[in-house]
Structure 1
Amino acid sequence: MIVTHEREKLIQAVNYFARHTRKFGKTKLYKLLYFLDFEHFKQTGRDVTGLTYFAWPMGPVPVSLHEEIDNPKPDLTDAFDFERRAIGDGWRLNIEPKVPFSESHFSKREMMILKNLAEEYRDTDADKMIEATHLENLPWDRVYNKDGRKQQEIPYDLALRNDERDRMMKIIEERKDLLEKLK
């Protein structure tokens, strides 16, 4: 199996969050990855993990990862142990790293965002993570509530204010044009 740079970043981001937060299960993972990708996009015009998020009732969900967790690819099973644990009236999927974390895959900015998110949400449970993604005018709210596009993709450009979006989209188009010329 070929592991792309984005895939390695995804695995290492999961590894980092699993090591530096508590009450860490699927829901918290999805929300932390969403915050990582959307914050990085807001700052640079690029996501970190390559995931696409959808507006589900409980907040943003990276559907491809959600589907894979039930039947993980070898690179995930090599990196993590997945175990269902009972908590209260329900259960949580515990994600335990089997490999050391390596920050070599991340830029300084990406590491800063990872560290800030882990610190901010270290002790936050899944319900509070859901609340954090449901705040008014954040991308999930705009897709799910304002546009009524339930279960639909959350565009990354919603991380930007309108004035920022126009400027960032112009920069992204210029980068694409430059890359095409270099090919």
Structure 2
Amino acid sequence: MLITHEREKLIQAIIFFVTNTRHCHKIKLFKLLYFLDFEHFKETGRSVTASDYCAWPYGPVPVDLMAEIEVPQPDMAASVAFTNKSIKGGTQVMLNIEPRAEFNPENFTRREMGIMKRLAEEFFETKSEDMIEATHLENMPWDKVYNQQGAKQQRIPYELALRAQEEEALLRVARDRKELMECLR
């Protein structure tokens, strides 16, 4: 498997969130990664981990990571352990996530680290039920896809993180740049 810069960031972000928050199991981790990627996209026009998120009933799910948890690739398995743990008297199973490596911040920008630290502080004690609620807010990307468009289990476009006026401003800058480039030809 080719290990890309974004792939390394995904693995390191998992280690960071599991190490720096409590109750960080599958659902909470998925929501923290979603907030990281969409917040960074809103600020810069690009995600951190390059993950695709789909609108599932309990919120956004990074579908490739969801599939990989069952059989982690060697780079993921070397860095993170995923194990099932029985809870509620053995009637339910929870995914336990433990780092196998120390967090390495070298691949992250200051902005990315700032977002991760803020999310870890904000959601330090938050449990998965409240994380689900936070991703279901009205007019947020998950809500726009799942509820407003009725596109259940479909990809959530990053562009939905931009507010209408932000999107217009971004498009205006792109148009102006295109016009400038055409004038310079």
Structure-1 residue corresponding to 2:66: 66
Change (3 A) 1:19 1:166: same
Change (3 A) 1:54 1:172: farther
Does residue 146 of the first structure (1) align with residue 148 of the second (2)? yes
Q: Is the 8 A contact 1:45 1:172 kept in 2?
A: no
Change (3 A) 1:81 1:173: farther
Structure-2 residue corresponding to 1:163: 165
Paired residues in the alignment total 178
Q: Summarize deviations over 1:93-123 as a string: whole Å, max 9, x none.
A: 1111111101111000000000000111111
Structure-2 residue corresponding to 1:50: 50
How many Å separate the matches in 2 of 1:142 and 1:76? 32
Q: Summarize deviations over 1:24-76 as a string: whole Å, max 9, x none.
A: 11111110000000000000001000101000001000111101111110011
Q: Which runs of 5+ in 2 are unaligned?
A: 179-185
Alignment of 1:31-50 (within 5 A): 31-50=31-50
SS in structure 2 of the partner of residue 14 of structure 1: helix
Change (3 A) 1:85 1:171: farther
Q: Summarize deviations over 1:112-145 as a string: whole Å, max 9, x none.
A: 0000001111111111110000011110001111
SS in structure 2 of the partner of residue 95 of structure 1: strand
Decide which structure has the larger Cα Rg and report it: 2
1:92 is aligned with what amino acid? M
How high is the sequence identity, in percent, across the aligned residues? 55
Change (3 A) 1:164 1:123: same
What TM-score do the two structures reach when normalised by structure 2? 0.90
Provide the alpha-carbon RMSD of the alignment: 2.0
Change (3 A) 1:31 1:175: farther
- Following TM superposition, by how much is the alpha carbon of 1:172 offset from its aligned partner in structure 2, in angstroms? 6.3
Q: Which runs of 5+ in 1 are unaligned?
A: 177-183
